[in-house]
């Protein structure tokens, strides 16, 4: 994992603070890992915008590197994050997609959001909204970190027809640990 690329020199400030690291998790480029995962994963919760799905092999690497990732994020944005909650998600059904949002309602508890794209080939990334709309990320193993703010507007496309899975590992960098949370990378 390219943990040392989590650095202020690599971030962008317009239209808001974010960082994109291409190929952050090289395991994602292994099409065998993807094919095995696709054969065996299960949907744990279905939602109109996406499905939550069972754990992915990249989670083991995230667990092994969790404290280094947290340390780099804290240094980068002068934060006090103490844990990372994760969930695996799939976009593959007509209507799946995320409308424009900024996560600001959670900023006191979740100051940073992360999206790790888990397909061995690019599907689609995340749209960031400022003076214009720009798609970023989406490549195999790309990591997008967004410092949550009133300006951190982002979205995805809405899928028009059922399609191949677009798999993401969504990360919530948290300031406090809530009890009874079953999607933490702490074990």
Residue 167 falls within a domain, yes or no? yes
Structural domain containing residue 28: 16-174
CA dihedral 39, 171, 123, 144 (to 10 degrees): -150
- So what's the pLDDT on residue 178? 64
Q: How many CB atoms lie within 10 A of CB 105?
A: 10
- So what's the pLDDT on residue 164? 83
CATH code where residue 84 lies: 2.60.120.620
Residue 8 falls within a domain, yes or no? no
pLDDT digits (tens, 9 = 90+) for 60-92: 999 999 999 999 999 999 999 999 999 999 999
For the chain, the domain total comes to: 1
Which two three-digit tokens encode residue 121?
Answer: 């080939």
Residue 23 falls within a domain, yes or no? yes
pLDDT digits (tens, 9 = 90+) for 91-116: 999 999 999 999 988 888 999 999 99
Residue 55's pLDDT band (boundaries 50, 70, 90)?
very high
Is the pLDDT assigned to residue 187 strictly greater than 80? no
Residue 144 falls within a domain, yes or no? yes
Is the pLDDT assigned to residue 124 strictly greater than 60? yes
Residue 179 falls within a domain, yes or no? no
Mean pLDDT of 21-47: 94
Residue 185's pLDDT band (boundaries 50, 70, 90)?
very low
Mean pLDDT of 164-186: 74
Percent of the chain with pLDDT over 70: 94
Is the pLDDT assigned to residue 151 strictly greater than 60? yes
Residue 182's pLDDT band (boundaries 50, 70, 90)?
very low
Residue 39 falls within a domain, yes or no? yes
Higher-pLDDT residue of 183 and 33 is: 33
Q: How does the average pLDDT of the chain come out, rounded?
A: 92
Residue 101 falls within a domain, yes or no? yes
Residue 3 falls within a domain, yes or no? no
Residue 139: CA count within 13 A, CB half-sphere = 10
Tokens 């970023």 sit at which residue? Answer: 136
User: Among candidates 88, 85, 82, which has minimal Cα distance to 58?
Assistant: 88
- So what's the pLDDT on residue 46? 93
> Residue 62: helix, strand or coil by DSSP?
helix
């Amino acid at each position: 994992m390219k943990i040392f690329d989590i650095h202020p020199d690599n971030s962008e400030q317009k239209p808001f603070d974010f960082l994109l690291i291409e190929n952050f998790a090289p395991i994602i480029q292994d099409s065998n890992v993807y094919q095995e995962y696709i054969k065996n994963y299960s949907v744990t919760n279905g939602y109109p915008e996406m499905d939550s799905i069972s754990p992915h092999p990249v989670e083991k690497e995230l667990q092994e590197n969790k404290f280094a990732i947290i340390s780099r994020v804290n240094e980068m944005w002068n934060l006090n994050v103490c844990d990372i909650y994760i969930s695996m998600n799939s976009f593959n059904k007509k209507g799946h997609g995320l409308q424009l949002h900024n996560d600001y309602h959670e900023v006191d508890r979740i100051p940073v959001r992360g999206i790790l794209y888990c397909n061995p080939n690019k599907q689609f990334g995340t749209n960031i909204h400022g003076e214009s709309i720009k798609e970023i990320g989406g490549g195999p193993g790309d990591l997008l970190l967004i410092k949550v703010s009133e300006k951190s507007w982002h979205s995805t496309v809405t899928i028009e027809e059922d399609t191949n899975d677009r798999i993401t590992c969504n990360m919530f960098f948290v300031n406090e640990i809530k009890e009874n949370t079953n999607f933490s990378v702490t074990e």
